[in-house]
Chain A
Amino acid sequence: MKKNKMFIIIIAVIFGTALICSLPIWGKPRGNAVNIRSGGELICTIDLSEAEDCEFDIKWGGGVNTIEIKDHMIHVKEADCPDGICIKTGWIGGENGTAPIVCLPNRLVIEPADDTSDGRTR
């Protein structure tokens, strides 16, 4: 009986370890989530792998960016900023882009929620 109890304890500890090690990934979308920040505030996190095709506007300080989600990717479709860098950056999401989309005049940032790099030079 003692051996059996010991066996149960060992199994329980192994199971517990596995459980705890998996905690940090709970609740995180799997690799295809983006954070959308406007005016420095995080306004939402979208899991693109679950998202349906749609378009929406984000307004800040009188400026507007039209965001489009299509085929589990996201980009800035239209913007009233003077340089249009946010549009030129293109699509991000999945394996098709890991750089953040930044619109300086409209203070908009769309960035991968879990970029594997620590920083980016551009």
Chain B
Amino acid sequence: MKKAAVLFGISLLSLLCGCNISEEPCAKKDFFAMDTYMTLTAYGDNAEAALDRACSEITRLEGLFSVTDKNSDIGRINSSRGQPVEISTDTAKLISRSSKLSEFTDGTLDITVYPLVREWGFTTGNYAVPTDKKINELLGSTGYLNISINDNKVTIPENYQLDLGSVAKGYAGERAAEILKEEGVTSAILSLGGNVQTIGEKPDGTPWRVAVTDPFSPSDTICTLSVIDKAVVTSGNYQRYFVSEDGKKYCHIIDPKTGYPVDNGLASVTVTGDSGTYCDGLSTALFVMGEEKATAFRNEHRDFDMLIITEDGRIIITESLSENVEFTDNTITQKVEVIK
């Protein structure tokens, strides 16, 4: 019987050791930055140290891009009164990439709409519908074409204001992913306030499962996307909005051409692709474009995938993404339109 007990003990130990060995070391960081809640998870022997570096980088970038910090690059540009301002390479690079993306999307993304966002009260919580006169006046202080950037010096006209909110988290996710890769991490998922960046696949070799929030019930999941080494970003009208006295709902995404919050029948746009910055900016731009223009844009540019949810509950999804989506409610599939 002694022998049996010893054998049993050895079996237990070997099983216990086997369980531990099969699991990759995992490190996780939860923190608030860039006006959002971030969760970074990485696997591998160097995961903890790599995440520390990634967190420091995100905090550093927040210090450069913050629109509320007077001493940040953006804060200094916004108080420059038309004078050139020397800024960091990261800020110069992101302003430059944003401007190119604005051109690429026919001005549906514009980092100069901040004065309008502020007037509508989305930065302070003092929501109010501005007069048409005020909107027209502020539209005169917007336009990405008037941003002048020369090496690391940027100049904007007086009364203009920049806000990198539509691209900053995408860029930060991209930079954090670069750092993790430099540190040898091959498996990680970074969630920067719903702006998701993945590295490789899960340690068990399966794709990452990214839940897409149901715009009609924001505490629920409408579907789950399976992705490997991709960024996943959503823009929608369901989280930051206000309802005016006349009962009309106004969302926080401003159409740079009209100065009004977007109201074009879309509830959300999710974009997946290789670059976090591109996906971040594009999700806003496609949301502003609306269903028809966004679909036409996708026909011309095939370096991303998208999932559009309309206010009337229809879902438009690109073909390759449709092969990697799982809807929470099977009845939804009747409302899905797959585009090539």
Query: Hey, which bits of chain A sit against chain B, CB under 8 A?
Result: 5, 8-9, 12-13, 16-17, 20, 37, 40, 75, 81-83, 85, 88-92, 96-102, 104, 107, 109, 115-122
A119, B240: Cβ atoms under 8 Å?
no
Sampled A-B contacts (8; CB under 8 Å): A75-B219, A85-B240, A91-B219, A119-B196, A119-B198, A121-B233, A122-B212, A122-B236
The one of A9, A37, A40, A89 that contacts B4, using a Cβ cutoff of 8 Å: A9
Query: With A13-B8, A96-B219 given, is the CB distance from A85 to B189 under 8 Å?
Result: no
- B219 — which chain A residues lie within 8 A by C-beta? 75, 89-92, 96-99, 101
B30, A98: Cβ atoms under 8 Å?
no
B332 an interface residue at 8 Å Cβ cutoff? no
Q: Which of B9-60 contact A (CB under 8 A)?
A: 11-12, 15-16, 19, 30-32, 35-37, 39, 41
Query: With A89-B219, A92-B219, A102-B37 given, is the CB distance from A118 to B202 under 8 Å?
Result: yes
- A100 — which chain B residues lie within 8 A by C-beta? 37
The one of A16, A83, A115, A117 that contacts B12, using a Cβ cutoff of 8 Å: A16
Query: Hey, which bits of chain B sit against chain A, CB under 8 A?
Result: 1, 4, 7-8, 11-12, 15-16, 19, 30-32, 35-37, 39, 41, 124-126, 189-191, 194-196, 198, 202, 208-213, 217-221, 224-225, 232-234, 236, 238-240, 270
- A88 — which chain B residues lie within 8 A by C-beta? 218, 238-239
Chain A proximity of B165: nearest CB distance (Å):
13
Query: With A13-B8, A89-B218, A119-B210 given, is the CB distance from A20 to B15 under 8 Å?
Result: yes
The one of A17, A101, A102, A115 that contacts B211, using a Cβ cutoff of 8 Å: A115
Query: With A16-B8, A89-B219, A99-B220 given, is the CB distance from A119 to B211 under 8 Å?
Result: yes
- B212 — which chain A residues lie within 8 A by C-beta? 120-122
